[in-house]
């Protein structure tokens, strides 16, 4: 059986998805504090301007929304990338589609 693949364009599109924008579209809110954003619902979840995120209470961190979905939602990298691409492609300029986000 052939393994599913994603294109370079799909990867780049998913990689550019802002974690703050993504989680905001999922119903979470953030407060700007200097050069980072802190989640109001989970104050130990912090996202820097460069996209790096830390969830201090869970001892998790990553560099992108893809990393977040892999580490927090236990998605495969392929599923995370395809989910983000599907959301972006279907709803370009509108709110993201609803994924089950574990937070």
Contact 88, 99 (CB under 8 A): no
What's residue 95's pLDDT? 37
- The pLDDT-based confidence of 89 (bands split at 50, 70, 90) is very low
In the chain, where the domains are located: 8-90
Contact 57, 39 (CB under 8 A): no
Contact 52, 62 (CB under 8 A): yes
pLDDT tens per residue, range 70-83? 999 999 999 999 99
Query: pTM score, two decimals?
Result: 0.79
Q: Strand pairing partners for 89? A: none
Half-sphere exposure of 18 (CA within 13 A, CB side): 12
Token pair for 67: 């990393």
34-43, 48-57, 93-102: which range is least confident on average?
A: 93-102
Distance between CA 103 and CA 28 in Å, rounded?
9
Domain formed by 8-90, architecture: Alpha-Beta Complex (3.90)
Give residue 42's region: left, alpha or beta (phi > 0; psi -120 to 50).
Answer: beta
The yes-or-no verdict on residue 24 having pLDDT over 80 is yes
Distance between CA 32 and CA 103 in Å, rounded?
19
pLDDT tens per residue, range 27-42? 999 999 999 999 999 9
């Amino acid at each position: 059986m052939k393994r599913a693949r994603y294109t370079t364009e799909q990867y780049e599109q998913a990689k550019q998805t802002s974690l703050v924008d993504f989680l905001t579209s999922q119903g979470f809110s953030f407060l700007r504090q200097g050069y980072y954003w802190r989640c109001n619902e989970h104050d130990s979840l912090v996202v820097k301007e460069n996209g790096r995120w830390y969830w201090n209470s869970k001892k998790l961190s990553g560099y992108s929304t893809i990393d977040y979905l892999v580490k927090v939602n236990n998605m495969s990298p392929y599923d995370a990338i395809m989910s983000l691409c599907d959301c972006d492609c279907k709803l370009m300029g509108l709110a993201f589609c609803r994924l089950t986000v574990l937070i």
